[in-house]
């Protein structure tokens, strides 16, 4: 079981920077999109609150998935030593 955990842990740890960069970019685009949709909704008097809310929700879900990725890394740590992951 330890070898299987190591076989999954080290590639995930290696890809962590890329995964976090893509996640930050995607959540940032979602939040900026929500602000833009909200501003357009205010300026044009259209009711676009549902797309803005869904965009905020998507950004938050992406953030939670990034936290889950780190939690899986903590759980799979095969060395038994304290793992420190910097954001």
The closest alpha carbon to 59, from 18, 29, 16, 22, belongs to: 29
The answer to whether position 84 is within a domain reads no
The answer to whether position 86 is within a domain reads no
Q: How far apart are CA 43 and CA 37, in angstroms?
A: 10
Find the Cα–Cα–Cα–Cα dihedral 48, 46, 33, 67, rounded to 10°. -20
Tens digit of each residue's pLDDT (9 = 90 or more) over 39-82: 998 898 888 889 999 999 999 999 999 999 999 999 999 888 88
The answer to whether position 85 is within a domain reads no
The answer to whether position 72 is within a domain reads yes
Q: What is the pLDDT of residue 5?
A: 84
Residue numbers of the domain that contains 26: 2-76
Using only the alpha carbons of the chain, give its radius of gyration: 18
- pLDDT reading at 13 higher than 90: yes
Total domains in the fold of the chain: 1
The answer to whether position 9 is within a domain reads yes
Q: What is the pLDDT of residue 23?
A: 96
The answer to whether position 81 is within a domain reads no
């Amino acid at each position: 079981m330890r070898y299987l955990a190591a076989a999954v842990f080290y590639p995930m740890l290696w890809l962590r920077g890329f995964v976090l960069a893509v996640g930050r970019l995607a959540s940032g685009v979602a939040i900026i999109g929500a602000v833009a949709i909200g501003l357009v909704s205010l300026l044009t008097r259209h009711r676009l609150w549902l797309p803005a809310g869904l965009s905020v929700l998507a950004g938050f879900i992406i953030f939670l998935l990034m936290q889950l990725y780190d939690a899986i890394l903590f759980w799979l740590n095969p060395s038994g030593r304290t793992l420190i992951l910097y954001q």
